[in-house]
Each structure stands twice: as C-alpha cells, then as structure tokens.
Structure 1
C-alpha cells in the first residue's frame, strides 16, 4: 500500500544543510496498522509528510497503492491525497466557525464528480455515526471536549473512504481513558479494512498496533511485529510485549 525505497530527505538553507531522513526502506501492506516511534527530532513527522505526499524526498521513491508518485505534479498529488489518504492530527485542526457536520464535509468539497450537497452531508453524517457523534452534528468545535474533537477529526479523515489513514499523535492531547477510546475507534477502522500509520510517543498505544517501526537520528533502527517482540532502540534486543485483545466500539 505504501512503499518507500532508499529515501533521503535533506533540508537546505543558504548556510546549513540538515539530514532529516537517510536510507529509509519501508513497505506497508494493505490492512496493516503500523506505529512509528522515536525521540523528538528523529524524523517521524518528516516520514509522515512523505507518506502523505505533503513533501517530496531529496532522493529515493515513494509508491502509493503501487503508483510511483515521486514525479507527480502538485495537482496530481493533491488529487491522489484527496482520494487515497485521510489525515488525523494531534491538534485536531477543526474550523471553529463551522459546525461539526460542516467540518467533516470539507474533504468532499474538493472531490471532482461528487454530487449534490445533500449527498455530501449524508456521507458526513454516516462518518460521524461511525465515531459515535451523530448527536453532535450541529455543535461547534468549541462546544466539544478534546476527545469529541478528535472523533470529529477522525470522521473528517474517513468521510471520503480513503484506503490509508495517517495519524500524527492522535492521542497526544488526551487523557488515558479518552486515548484508549480513540485507539478503539482506530482499531475498528483497521478491522474494517483501513491501512493505518500512526506516529506516537506512547508505548502503551503502540502495543495496540500490529507492527512497530522505530526511528533514531533519521534512520530506521527497528521494524518488528508487536506480537513477536519489538526491537529496543537503545540496545537492539528484542522485547516481548504482552498480547492484547483488540478493543471494539
């Protein structure tokens, strides 16, 4: 579903060059739920931006659904993002002046060929129902709790029925109880067929995914199945995580 080959990302200014990612080779299969961990500044957000076609590698290639996209034009990348990828952010990124329903409908406004406003609103209602917020469609973001805002953000990410969901610290601004509820929603979406890549600092949340990729100083230092023990970034020694039953809504 997502393939990164020999990825290098360099940020340059007139006086300095910063190597953000180097020698990244990663293949994420359809239906996987991947977590990415590492210390601040290790390249997690840069890697997520490359997967989400928000940035381009300095070297190497990116494939989405078998399509090599490295040389796509901006308009082609935007269209592919809109059709294939849903984004969930730590800070929600909701528009306070719009209702919950209007916020969720936004991605559909940029889709060519999508029909009437009524059909878009029905899809938005269905997405909100999936995350348990059908009774909040007329509310505004400032009338919601943090967990409810994240549910709206998830509904917005899935309203276009993308194949891939990219979640950047989706539980980072939530308490543990609400974080577990959000993870249960993501697990259910994955069970329903979505491929999910999640950046997190929370080891307990990473344990709920299928596979853990660790980054350090822009390099991959671990890639292993959670059930078989994830690699310790510091020592490279396998650690066995206890198995956990998937939560449901």
Structure 2
C-alpha cells in the first residue's frame, strides 16, 4: 500500500542544514491501522507529509499502491492525493464561513468526473452520517464543540472514499472522552477497509492501533505489532 525506501529529508537554508529524516524504510500494508510516535521535532509530521504526497524526499523513493511517485509532477501528485488520500489535522482546518455540509464537500470540487452538485451533496451527507452529524449539516464550525469539529474533519477526509487516511494528532486538541470517541470512529473506518496512519503523542491512543512505529531524531527506532490486522 505505502512503501518508503531509504527516505531522507533535509531542509537547507543558506546557513543551516536540518536533517528531518534519515534512512527511513517503512512498508504499510492495506488495511493496517498504524500509529507513529516520538518526541517533538523527531520527524513524525514530516514522515506523514511524505506519505501524503504533500512534500518530496531529499533522497529515497515513495511508492503508493505499487506506484513509484517520487518523480511525479505536481499535477500528477495532486490527482493521486485527491483520489486516494484523506487528511485529518489536529487543528481541524475548517472554513468558518461555510456550513458543515459545504466544508465536507470541498475535496469533491477538485475531482474530475463528479459532474453534479447533487451527487457531491449526497456523498457529503453520507460522510456526515458516518460520523453521527446528520443533524448538524446546516450549522457552521463556530457552533460546534471541538469533538464535533474533528468529526466534521473526518467526514471531509472520507467523503471521496479514499483508501488511505492520514491523521496528524487527531485527538491532540480534545479531552479524553472526546478523544476516545474520535478513536472509535477511526477504528470503525479501519474495519470498513481504510488504511490509517496516525501521528500521536498519546500512548493510550497508540495502543488502540495495530502497529506502533517510533521515531527519534529522524530515524526509525522501533516498529512493533500491537494487534494483528485481519486485512
């Protein structure tokens, strides 16, 4: 599903060179729920961005679904991202001036082949139903709690029915009860077939996934199976 081979990522300015990732080799199989942990600044979000095709490695190769994408042009990367990957962020990234339904619809606006507003609206309504927010479609982000905002963000991530969901600290801004609700939704999406990779600082949340990858100073220092996936 996702294969990273000898990945390195170096950020350079005229005076400073910062190594974010070094010699990372990681294979994530279809249907897995993988958590990534490590101290702040160890490269977790950089790794997630590379898997999400939001950034490119300085060296090494990224494969998505058997396709080597390192040499893809920006337009090709954008199309592959839109068709195959859903993103969930710690800070939600909702547009306050749009209704919940409109927020969820946004990824579909960039899809070729989705010809009617009615079909996009139907898919957005179905995604909101999956996260238990059918009754909030006309509300705006400012009218929701943090947990509800994150559920909207999940609905937006899954509206295009991607095979891969990347979640960067999806419970980081929530209390433990709301965090557990979000994890329950992610676990359910995983049982339905989504491959999920989640960055987290929370050991308890990580233990709810199938596999735990640990990073330190840009290098993988651990990769352990927690629960066997039946995918």
Check if 1:201 corresponds to 2:205: no
Find the aligned partners of 1:164 and 1:26 in 2 and give their Cα distance: 15
The residue number in structure 1 matching 2:94 is: 94
Q: Any unmatched runs of 5+ in structure 2?
A: none
The residue number in structure 2 matching 1:178 is: 178
The residue number in structure 2 matching 1:45 is: 45
Taking CA–CA contacts closer than 8 Å with sequence separation of 6 or more, which of the two structures ends up with the larger relative contact order? 2
The residue number in structure 2 matching 1:4 is: 4
**1:226 offset after TM fit, Å?**
1.2
Aligned pair count reads 228
Check if 1:82 corresponds to 2:82: yes
Matches within 5 A, 1:145-224: 145-224=145-224
Helix, strand or coil at the partner of 2:151: helix
**1:189 offset after TM fit, Å?**
0.1
The residue number in structure 2 matching 1:243 is: none
TM-score by length of 2: 0.98
What does the per-residue CA deviation read over 1:126-170, in whole Å, with 9 as the maximum and x for residues that have no partner? Answer: 000000000000000000000000000000000000000000000
Find the aligned partners of 1:115 and 1:170 in 2 and give their Cα distance: 32
The residue number in structure 2 matching 1:116 is: 116
Contact residue 209 and residue 227 of structure 2 kept, 8 A: no
Helix, strand or coil at the partner of 1:160: coil
TM-score by length of 1: 0.91
- List structure 1 segments (4+ residues) > 4 angstroms apart after TM superposition: none
Find the aligned partners of 1:6 and 1:184 in 2 and give their Cα distance: 33
Find the aligned partners of 1:15 and 1:203 in 2 and give their Cα distance: 37
